[in-house]
Amino acid sequence: MTIACGFSRFLSTRVHSSTNRVLSLWFASCPCSSSSASASEPPEIAAAPETVREGRAEIFADKSNSVFFNKAQVNNRDLSIAVLRWFISKRQEEHDTQLKGRRAEIPPEQHADGLDPATTGSEDTALREESSLKAPKVLEALAASGLRAIRYALEVDGIGEVIALDNNEVAIESCKRNIYHNGILASSKVVPHLADARIYMLTHPKEFDVVDLDPYGSPAAFLDSAVQCVADGGILMCSATDMAVLAGGNAEVCFSKYGSYPVRGKYRHEMALRILLACIESHAIRHKRYIVPVISVHMDFYIRVFVRIFTSASTVKSSPLKFSHVYQCVGCNSFHLQNVGRINSKDKRNIPLPNFCPTVPQECSECGGKFVMGGPIWSDPIHDRDWAASILSNIRATSGLYQAYAKISAILTSVSEELPNAPLFVSLHSICATLKCTNPTMVMFHSAIRNAGYQISGSHADPLALKTDAPMSVIWDIMRCWVKLHPVKSQPENLPGSRILSQEPQLQASFSQATGGLVARKSPRFLPNPEKHWGPKMKAGRPLKILPIDKL
Ligand SMILES: C[S@@+](CC[C@H](N)C(=O)[O-])C[C@H]1O[C@@H](n2cnc3c(N)ncnc32)[C@H](O)[C@@H]1O
Ligand SMILES: [Zn+2]
């Protein structure tokens, strides 16, 4: 309460003009204005509270860490705003197309004006009523200071009500102060609400076009209620910062939280995304719903996925085809995916059946190592390429609107170039380390894959990633050919690399520059962190070291 009383006193020293409606509103609405300084107290000029600005919003700084705020999440918030802007225009477009379709189905004589709507554009009354799409309703389920909710309200045109929810009273009080501080528009759109997000989401089924989950660590506990709370065609935006768990540091914890075993490969950050997506899908299908991922990124120290949610009992049946187990060789790190389900070609209904035995032998055919089995992971595409390209071109056209423009445009550039049907990737460094050979350049390796008739791209998750539809045997053959041109020192025979090199390649690799291959890039794909302390933050309530305001 001390902060709120200080807040009232701060404002009372400044609210002089009756024309300053916004300030008066803040003052009148200060949560503790009734219990603030009594007339008998000596007048006290409080120092102006320090504030933090991000995008078009400004919030009160909280050095005591009683409410969570991490400046580094500006990348997360800016990207979410970019996705939200595109989602709103896309939803409008889908709505218009649907309406046009329905209009065309109505015979002209049933129209109020008797004219053919297809040629005149006139509408039947009922359709006219339906024709305007309601402004999308947003739930920020774990709102903390409310910064994100306020930014959505101030920066995303066409957005409707934004509920800023938190189960922490101090957070909700801070939310209220921040909302008032941001003026009429924020106050008219953002509604702070004290509740447990899980209960709130369960009791508001299909009510929100947008649900944002930005938890401490894992979102797992919120997923079952979140997938039920999103409206049909709506979007769930979900972060996970428990990377040690998702990326294989604590495999058993990952299994208990997400129902999937991670494997410690170079692709672990992409695997983390695919584990989270698989987990969201597995919650969705329990409720006859399914997900369509539109953007899925690993950035800084966390992952964030944007998935649309639809309802269809028949589509849910094909869900097993979107999950795969991952077999990874403990010797050479070769990996192979196998779908959980399979289509029986004789069954015209296309209903998947459980898949056959593992597609890999007991021992790796490249190096003789054993396989560990990870997953199941989401093995369908993790991005919608059209969405990625459109969001990228939108943010390029309005770069001034994004504080994190450099970072989010670099990520989206990488995302828009990723091969959609090549889950996971190998790392050029790791392959060369296994063989103990010198690296071919990225351009050479890309060319060799293309010259062998396969596709290849990078990944936003790792600058050295090689994402390809070529099987592991082709990748190793290319490297065997490379080593013939650039011999390695002799190694003990039992090393995985020696075993791989003891086999003759089945294909003759060509490293000459392939057409349409990797070329010099004008825009960056990977950026260093802008400053120190660019990482996760302590939970609210635990004292931080005293930091200057710019480090909060
Ligand atoms: C990481 S912070 C959110 C940060 C915020 N989204 C942002 O962009 O600054 C997580 C918040 O979730 C809240 N929280 C944790 N469990 C919750 C629950 N069951 N229901 C509602 N809020 C919860 C915490 O009080 C905390 O404020
Ligand atoms: Zn192997």
Which structure tokens are listed for 162? 């934004």
Centroid of ligand 2 to alpha carbon of 335 (angstroms): 8
Mean pLDDT calculated for residue range 113-135: 62
The dihedrals phi and psi of 255, each to the nearest 5 degrees, come to: -65, -40
Which residues sit opposite 230 in a β-bridge? 208
Centroid of ligand 2 to alpha carbon of 429 (angstroms): 16
Q: State residue 184's pLDDT score.
A: 97
- For 137-180, write each residue's pLDDT tens digit: 999 999 999 999 999 999 999 999 999 999 999 999 999 999 99
Q: State residue 312's pLDDT score.
A: 97
* Band of pLDDT at residue 333, cut at 50, 70 and 90: very high
- The reply to whether ligand 1 has any atom less than 6 angstroms from the CB of 241 is no
Q: Which residue from 62, 67, 68 has its CB within 8 A of the most atoms of ligand 1, so it is best to mutate? A: 68
Question: Any idea where the domains of the chain sit in the sequence?
Answer: 2-71, 196-382, 421-501
The CATH number of the domain covering residues in 196-382? 3.40.50.150
Q: State residue 518's pLDDT score.
A: 65
Q: Of all protein residues, whose CA lies closest to atom 11 belonging to ligand 1?
A: 142
* Band of pLDDT at residue 111, cut at 50, 70 and 90: low
Nearest ligand 1 atom, CA 69: 9
Q: State residue 124's pLDDT score.
A: 60
380 pLDDT exceeds 80? yes
Q: State residue 358's pLDDT score.
A: 87
Which structure tokens are listed for 388? 């990625």
Tell me the pLDDT of the chain averaged across its residues. Answer: 87
Which ligand places an atom closest to the C-alpha of 201? 1
Let me know how many helices (H) and strands (E) the chain has, helices first.
20, 17
21 pLDDT exceeds 70? no
Return the HEC string of 384-424: CHHHHHHHHHHHHHCHHHCCCHHHHHHHHHHHHHCCCCCCC
Which residues sit opposite 339 in a β-bridge? 324
- For 268-299, write each residue's pLDDT tens digit: 999 999 999 999 999 999 999 999 999 999 99
Mean pLDDT calculated for residue range 91-98: 91
- The reply to whether ligand 1 has any atom less than 6 angstroms from the CB of 167 is yes
59 pLDDT exceeds 50? yes
Nearest ligand 1 atom, CA 77: 8
Tally the residues of the chain: 552
Centroid of ligand 2 to alpha carbon of 430 (angstroms): 13
Q: State residue 551's pLDDT score.
A: 52
Mean pLDDT calculated for residue range 105-131: 60
Q: Which of 135-149, 335-349, 379-393, 410-424 has the lowest mean pLDDT?
A: 335-349
267 pLDDT exceeds 60? yes
513 pLDDT exceeds 70? yes
Contact 420, 387 (CB under 8 A): no
Q: State residue 102's pLDDT score.
A: 82
How far is it, in rounded angstroms, from Cα 259 to Cα 281? 11
386 pLDDT exceeds 80? yes
Secondary structure E strands in 128-282? 138-140, 162-166, 190-194, 208-213, 230-240
Which structure tokens are listed for 374? 């990870």
Q: Of all protein residues, whose CA lies closest to atom 19 belonging to ligand 1?
A: 196
How far is it, in rounded angstroms, from Cα 102 to Cα 114? 16
121 pLDDT exceeds 60? no
129 pLDDT exceeds 50? yes
128 pLDDT exceeds 90? no
- For 461-497, write each residue's pLDDT tens digit: 999 999 999 999 999 999 999 999 999 999 999 999 9
pLDDT > 90: what percent of the chain? Answer: 71
How far is it, in rounded angstroms, from Cα 460 to Cα 468? 14
- The reply to whether ligand 1 has any atom less than 6 angstroms from the CB of 142 is yes
Q: State residue 547's pLDDT score.
A: 52
Which ligand places an atom closest to the C-alpha of 145? 1
Which structure tokens are listed for 114? 């008797």
Q: State residue 132's pLDDT score.
A: 83
- The reply to whether ligand 1 has any atom less than 6 angstroms from the CB of 249 is no
Q: State residue 349's pLDDT score.
A: 82
- For 200-209, write each residue's pLDDT tens digit: 999 999 999 9
- The reply to whether ligand 1 has any atom less than 6 angstroms from the CB of 174 is no
Q: What is the DSSP letter of 516?
A: T
How far is it, in rounded angstroms, from Cα 367 to Cα 137? 55
How far is it, in rounded angstroms, from Cα 85 to Cα 404? 16
Task: Identify residue 467 by its one-letter amino acid code.
Answer: K
Q: State residue 525's pLDDT score.
A: 65
242 versus 133: which is more confidently predicted? 242
Nearest ligand 1 atom, CA 200: 20
123 pLDDT exceeds 50? yes
Contact 23, 1 (CB under 8 A): no
Query: Sign of torsion, CA 277 282 287 288?
Result: positive
39 versus 64: which is more confidently predicted? 64
Is the peptide bond prior to 376 cis by the omega test (within 30 degrees of 0)? yes
Give whole-number Cα distances, 408 to 58, 275, 460, in Å.
21, 23, 11
pLDDT > 70: what percent of the chain? Answer: 82
Q: Of all protein residues, whose CA lies closest to atom 9 belonging to ligand 1?
A: 69
Q: What is the CA radius of gyration of the chain?
A: 27
348 versus 464: which is more confidently predicted? 464
89 pLDDT exceeds 90? yes
Query: In terms of C-beta density within 10 A (0-12 exposed, 13-18 middle, 19 or more buried), how is residue 182 classed?
Result: buried
Buried b (16+ CB within 10 A) or exposed e, 475-485: bbbbbbbbbee
- The reply to whether ligand 1 has any atom less than 6 angstroms from the CB of 62 is no
Q: State residue 20's pLDDT score.
A: 37
How far is it, in rounded angstroms, from Cα 465 to Cα 190? 41
Half-sphere exposure of 32 (CA within 13 A, CB side): 17
* Band of pLDDT at residue 36, cut at 50, 70 and 90: very low
Which residues sit opposite 291 in a β-bridge? 309
- The reply to whether ligand 1 has any atom less than 6 angstroms from the CB of 196 is yes
Contact 107, 121 (CB under 8 A): no
- The reply to whether ligand 1 has any atom less than 6 angstroms from the CB of 171 is yes
Mean pLDDT calculated for residue range 508-535: 73
Domain 421-501 has CATH 3.30.56.70: yes
Which structure tokens are listed for 145? 């200071």
46 versus 309: which is more confidently predicted? 309
Q: State residue 348's pLDDT score.
A: 81
Q: State residue 322's pLDDT score.
A: 98
Q: State residue 13's pLDDT score.
A: 34
